[in-house]
Structure 1
Amino acid sequence: MTSHEPVLPRIRPEIAALPPYKQGRPADPNGFKLSSNENPFEPLPGVVEAARAAADFNRYPDATAAALREALGAKYGVDPEAVLVGAGSVSLLQAFIQAAASVGDEVLYSWRSFEAYPGLALIAGASSVQVPNLPDGRHDLDAMAAAVTARTRVILLCTPNNPTGPIITSAEFAAFVAKVPADVLILLDEAYAEFVRDDSAVDGLAERVFEKHPNVVVLRTFSKAYGLAALRVGYAIGHPRVLDAGRSTVTPLSVTATAVAAAVASLAHQVALDERVDELVARRSALVEGLRDAGWDVPDAQGNFVWLPASEQLDATTVAAAFDAAGIIVRPFPEGVRISIGEHESVEKVLGIARSLRA
């Protein structure tokens, strides 16, 4: 009796070759998971209770997330129609890319940057155009502007850049947008905006860049500073007619009522949020200072993570393995290792391992 392999459906070759998203594994009970840029603090006061009260599991959520759009509109002084809510900002990135780019089109971004960018472009059928980061981990905006062609449909700008850490300044952003055709969609990915302490950094919402430039959409998330990573809720703010394209391509009903209730409740605790973010920024500063003192060439860190560039002496795999052996899970990339800012106790442990590696 012979066995036969089943006949499987045909899959696009580029999708079959696309590696699935690989999540960092959990840390041991006495270790620290510093691989996913998660917030070590619990949700803000009253948020869990608000989420539980909204858990009407047998009913579909409001597809427009109106309560959250109204709250965000009030916070940023925009019409709710200028706000689009999605299941994390990455789902909104995907929706806008699918709306604007297809086969034969190009999606332009700095590299290395957010690891989802290449896959999102590929899924849409578009081609990726990757412009190498500057040596200090920043976007090379002059080179990116020079790489724009008649086929460019979407430009992704990540500030602070994940995983390297530096920001794009207001002056750099203004100069860049002036060079880009007005019919090219620019997605300003500000997932870590709350952690920025560089006064020169572009702030897409405070500067209302989407009003000056209708082709710019600003994206943010509740996963990082607000500590709602498990609930998957992010938002985009931009020109309502541009957001309509995202509304057409985003997965319907993907934002749960629980997530909306938790996000709305979180917005009511700005003081507590600021205190927590300030504490994480203080830990980040201590970590950066200690790493540099130990001889690591750490770029400017403006997110809730730090970046250890790989070298001939210390490749990313070796560095990550040393942390893993000590019970600390970090995120290795070919070019370096990203370490999230976690619990207070983790800072000195990270520094101890980093010092031993340099020694």
Structure 2
Amino acid sequence: MVYQRDAVEALPAYVQGKSIPNAVKLSSNENPYPPLDSVVEVVRERAASISLYPDMSAHDVVERIAARWQVRPSEIAVGAGSVEVAAQLITASAGSGDEVMFAWRSFEAYPILVQVAGATPVPVPLTADDRHDLEAMLAAITDRTRLVFVCTPNNPTGAIVTRDEMERFLERVPSSVLVVIDEAYAHFDDAEDSVDGLDFFRRCDNVVVLHTFSKAYGLAGLRIGYAIAPERIAANLRRVAVPFGVSALAQAAAIASLDAEDELQERIDVIRAERARVLAGLRDRGWQVFDSLGNFVWLRTGASTTEVDGILRENGVVARAFAGDGIRVTIGSPEMNDRFLAALDGVPASV
């Protein structure tokens, strides 16, 4: 039998949010609105050149991102979505015998990526109100800890880490440990006391910030994300990146999206307003839900998760269920959200 790594064959596969006919898909945290016309036009113009390799350095989009955040281009590393950049970070920083820490439940790709790299995942349970337990994470750091992922707003619970919490956390994290502030959903976060990853990046030598164009910018199908990192770390990310991993179409669409941020903000504002309406609708129906600052809400359904998910599907709503834990529901268009809330009318809030 051909040899394959046992650790890989034992890995759970990453599960994509599913679709079913005649149902609304609220399972993947996708932007419910189509790309802006200006972005579509740029992609259409570039489509004629898909027989050619893209610029592997992603020079133009890197320059544009650097200008957007007022950092040096040498502090930017891109990849096929922020998840691929997270994989670069793990590959560059951790291997056999090393540990990578993250809250749990958080982004489900974290433990998979860590094990692919041959390192050891260290999940730290969330608090009772579904927030990062930073004190417990500090206590779990060992001399083998190489990275700590802090996802804020957290996927799938929507909870944030505040500025003051991160300040106290970083004061006590050893300088040899890389802290990755994953801000995939930061555009939807309108809390005044939320952590600003860029502020800590500018002040700390061991902080990296992850961003993506998949969510607020609506480019999930083109796959582009990036890290803002100290120059040495960013250079190592480029060394381990998949060659030509970010397509020319994705690079062009990202630049066009950055040029249209004011227009995109209007859509973000609509999603935020719909999130508030959905949370209010859940509470009106008796659900005890914590505030979410992402483009999704989290139902803590525990042992009833499979039952509730089944009822939603029967009513034409596909959400993201985590068996035995809860259900994450993306904020869609007003019509999609109405359908979700109506589907819950047949579910006792106490399940």
Name the TM tier (shorter chain): over 0.9
**Counterpart in 1 of 2:44?**
52
Specify which of 64, 72, 80 is matched with residue 57 of structure 2. Answer: 64
Unaligned residue ranges in structure 1 (runs of 5+): 1-6
**Counterpart in 2 of 1:92?**
85
Distance 1:179 1:76 in 2: 27
**Counterpart in 2 of 1:268?**
259
Kindly indicate whether the alpha-carbon contact (under 8 Å) linking 1:215 and 1:242 is maintained by their aligned counterparts in 2: no
Give the total of aligned pairs: 347
Q: Could you say what secondary structure the match of 1:306 adopts? A: strand
Distance 1:200 1:129 in 2: 28
**Counterpart in 2 of 1:12?**
5
Distance 1:54 1:228 in 2: 15
Shift of 1:298: 1.2
Distance 1:44 1:180 in 2: 42
Q: Could you say what secondary structure the match of 2:321 adopts? A: strand
Distance 1:297 1:104 in 2: 41
Alignment of 1:325 with 2:314, yes or no, is: yes
Distance 1:68 1:271 in 2: 18
Question: What pairs up with 1:6-45 in 2 under 5 angstroms?
Answer: 7=1, 9-29=2-22, 31-45=23-37
Kindly indicate whether the alpha-carbon contact (under 8 Å) linking 1:310 and 1:316 is maintained by their aligned counterparts in 2: yes
Q: Could you say what secondary structure the match of 1:54 adopts? A: helix
1:305-359, CA deviations, whole angstroms, 9 ceiling, x for partnerless residues? 00000145xx111111111111111000031000000121022221122232026
Alignment of 1:197 with 2:190, yes or no, is: yes
Runs of 4+ in 1 over 4 A off after TM superposition: none
Shift of 1:294: 1.1
**Counterpart in 2 of 1:348?**
338
Question: What pairs up with 1:298-313 in 2 under 5 angstroms?
Answer: 298-312=289-303
Amino acid at match of 1:326: N
Specify which of 279, 290, 299 is matched with residue 270 of structure 2. Answer: 279
Alignment of 1:170 with 2:163, yes or no, is: yes
- Normalised TM-score (structure 1): 0.94
1:274-329, CA deviations, whole angstroms, 9 ceiling, x for partnerless residues? 100000011100000110121112122000000000145xx111111111111111
**Counterpart in 1 of 2:203?**
212
1:243-277, CA deviations, whole angstroms, 9 ceiling, x for partnerless residues? 11111111111000000000100111121111000
Kindly indicate whether the alpha-carbon contact (under 8 Å) linking 1:211 and 1:238 is maintained by their aligned counterparts in 2: no
1:128-178, CA deviations, whole angstroms, 9 ceiling, x for partnerless residues? 111100011100001001110000001010000000111000100111111
Identical columns (%): 47
Alignment of 1:243 with 2:243, yes or no, is: no
Question: What pairs up with 1:95-244 in 2 under 5 angstroms?
Answer: 95-205=88-198, 207=199, 209-244=200-235
Distance 1:352 1:328 in 2: 10
1:170-206, CA deviations, whole angstroms, 9 ceiling, x for partnerless residues? 100111111111111111100000000111001212x
Q: What is the root-mean-square deviation of aligned Cα atoms in Å?
A: 1.1
Q: Could you say what secondary structure the match of 2:136 adopts? A: helix
Kindly indicate whether the alpha-carbon contact (under 8 Å) linking 1:291 and 1:355 is maintained by their aligned counterparts in 2: no
- Normalised TM-score (structure 2): 0.97
Q: Could you say what secondary structure the match of 1:200 adopts? A: coil
Kindly indicate whether the alpha-carbon contact (under 8 Å) linking 1:182 and 1:215 is maintained by their aligned counterparts in 2: yes
Distance 1:306 1:272 in 2: 24
Shift of 1:45: 3.0
Unaligned residue ranges in structure 2 (runs of 5+): none
Q: Could you say what secondary structure the match of 1:51 adopts? A: helix
Amino acid at match of 1:36: S
Distance 1:216 1:250 in 2: 19
Kindly indicate whether the alpha-carbon contact (under 8 Å) linking 2:103 and 2:150 is maintained by their aligned counterparts in 1: yes
**Counterpart in 2 of 1:3?**
none
Kindly indicate whether the alpha-carbon contact (under 8 Å) linking 1:73 and 1:83 is maintained by their aligned counterparts in 2: yes
Shift of 1:51: 1.2
1:88-127, CA deviations, whole angstroms, 9 ceiling, x for partnerless residues? 0000000110111111110011000000011011011111
Distance 1:265 1:188 in 2: 25
Amino acid at match of 1:172: E
Amino acid at match of 1:42: P
Kindly indicate whether the alpha-carbon contact (under 8 Å) linking 1:44 and 1:226 is maintained by their aligned counterparts in 2: no
